[in-house]
Amino acid sequence: MSAIKAKHQRLVLLVIALVALVGAGLLAAWALKNQAAYFYVPSDLAANPPEQGRAVRLGGMVERGSIHKAADGVTVNFIVGDGKARVPVRFTGITPDLFVEGSGVVAEGRMEGQTFVADNLLAKHDEKYVPREMKDMTAGQAKQVVAETK
């Protein structure tokens, strides 16, 4: 029996490496499939709700007059809307400083019945946001402060 030629040996090693690389990619994709958090707005959630307990993100505006703190002091109930649909949300924890009525929010969590149970809140501000420290400054003073910090 003759030994495998060097050319064929390299080809076999290349095929084995390629199969291993594709296999590792497929394994990683399969493992991450269940960890992906899909993004929904309230109207998408109403039209095509995810299965109960699946990790998703819900984004929209916190409706005015909807924030209510529970008696335990850490649970907050509020409603997220997008102008077409409304979703009740329950969050237990410390809310971000920018979390106020009428502001944008992204809640990470899952649906439990008709309520979205959030594990994490990300509050968003509008394009006119100014930090408290810079609120009373003129535009020129603010630019100077920003330039000094660079």
* pLDDT tens sequence across 3-48: 778 888 899 999 999 999 999 999 888 877 655 668 889 998 888 8
Residue 140's pLDDT is what? 74
Q: At which residue do the structure tokens 């402060």 appear?
A: 145
Q: What is the pLDDT of residue 35?
A: 59
CA distances from 33 to 19, 20, 36, 55, 65 (A): 21, 20, 6, 11, 38
pLDDT for res 138: 73
**What SS3 state is found at 125?**
coil
β-strand partners of 38: 56
Q: Which fold has domain 38-124?
A: OB fold (Dihydrolipoamide Acetyltransferase, E2P) (2.40.50)
pLDDT for 147: 64
Q: Tell me phi and psi for residue 102, to 5 degrees.
A: 85, 0
Nearest one of 108, 102, 96 to 128, comparing CA atoms: 102
Q: What is the pTM of this model?
A: 0.62
For residue 129, name the pLDDT band (cuts at 50, 70, 90): low
> 58: pLDDT confidence band, cut at 50, 70 and 90?
very high
CA distance 59 to 81: 8
The mean pLDDT value for 57-81 works out to 92
